[in-house]
Amino acid sequence: MVHIDCDLRDSVGYAYNASRPFMVPCGYIVFDDATTSTCLGATEIVEELAIRRDGLFSEQIWPHYVFRAPAQI
């Protein structure tokens, strides 16, 4: 499981991209602050990278965005 607890766009993007290669199949990725109104950069990067680029589907959105890595990475 990867738990990304960053508030800024660049920090969230870096943490996500740096941890992706180490994810096990079907492991969880949790974005802590991406649903907080004061952390819109975190929301943008989740939408840009996890959803649009990597095609992940959110299994939970409140209180944190939760994604599951694909069965084959």
| Per-residue pLDDT tens digits of the chain, which is 73 residues long | 999 999 899 999 999 999 999 999 999 999 998 888 888 999 999 999 999 999 999 999 999 999 999 887 6
One-letter amino acid for residue 33 of the chain: D
Residue 51 tokens, joined: 């959803």
Please report the pLDDT score of residue 38 as a whole number: 86
Please report the pLDDT score of residue 73 as a whole number: 63
Collapsing DSSP to helix, strand or coil, 36 comes out as coil
Please report the pLDDT score of residue 22 as a whole number: 94
Q: Are 20 and 50 in contact (CB under 8 A)?
A: no
Please report the pLDDT score of residue 35 as a whole number: 86
Please report the pLDDT score of residue 19 as a whole number: 96
